[in-house]
Amino acid sequence: MKRLFITLLVGFSIALSAQVNVRDSASAAWHFKMNFAGYAPGGDLADRFGPMVGIGLDIGYKTRENWLFGVSGNFMFGNKVNDTYYIFGSQTTAEGYFLGINGEYAIVEFINRGFYTGGYFGKILPILNHNPNSGLFFTLGLGYIQNKIYIRNPSETYPQLLGEYGKGYDRLHSGFASVQNIGYLHSGNKRTINFAVAFEFMQGFTTNQRAFNWDANMPDTARKIDLYFGLKVSWFLPIYDKNQQKFYYY
């Protein structure tokens, strides 16, 4: 057991000592990213929602030629829903309150929720680069996007908006989306500070997924163009190919 422990310790030490020379050479690497973004809506989306934030994860691969490939997922939410009086006004009192089944005012909240998932490719350009693995970059992506009004009634005292009933009011839209990013990616020489900052532009080509909007007494079959204008900040963990150029610490 003692000999096994020493062998594992030596092997672990050697693995830690062998490091890719990020400072001097471009290296292939996996990037595991955590993303945070803020979005302003545009197009048809601005008719339904206000500003929102997004959080998400990316799993990507960077080649030695600094090409980028990966998949991403992003959850988006905000507390600004437009035209709630137009959609729900017929169910409220003159003061704008919902009267619950217990005879008291019901707490009803409307939240914007959505998500995007898809793949992307791009390139790191040798401009303003901290090292050969950093620089200005761009990515292009394709995927699937969805947004809706999330209706929250924590006390469940207003059943007219719960379950299947709520689906007639939630304006669930989904469809194909394209995404463009342009920004700066920084890979730290010691792999401790790795981040990206980018302007993100998303276009969702969506349709209403509900057969009928109950408040309007008709279906909504119009195709929408939902636009998202955002600033995205990412922190990532790079895992470099150990078989490439190395240098050693003693």
Question: pLDDT tens digits, residue range 10-51?
Answer: 444 344 334 556 676 888 999 999 999 999 999 999 999 999
- Highest average pLDDT, of 98-102, 130-134, 200-204, comes from 200-204
The tens digit of pLDDT for each residue in 63-117 reads 999 999 999 999 999 999 998 888 888 888 888 889 989 888 999 999 999 999 9
- Residue 226 has phi, psi (to 5 degrees) of -100, 120
The tens digit of pLDDT for each residue in 158-196 reads 988 888 888 999 999 999 999 999 999 999 887 788 999
The CA distance from 48 to 224, in Å, is 11
The CA distance from 146 to 208, in Å, is 10
**pLDDT at position 130 over 60:** yes
Q: Is residue 133 within 8 Å of residue 190, measured between CB atoms?
A: no
Distance of CA 12 to the CA centre of its chain: 36
What is the CATH classification number for the domain harbouring 55? 2.40.160.20
Strands 52-62 and 67-78: antiparallel
What value, to the nearest 5°, has the Cα angle with vertex 33 and ends 32 and 35? 165
Domain that holds residue 204: 2-248
Report the number of distinct structural domains present in the chain: 1
The CA distance from 193 to 188, in Å, is 5
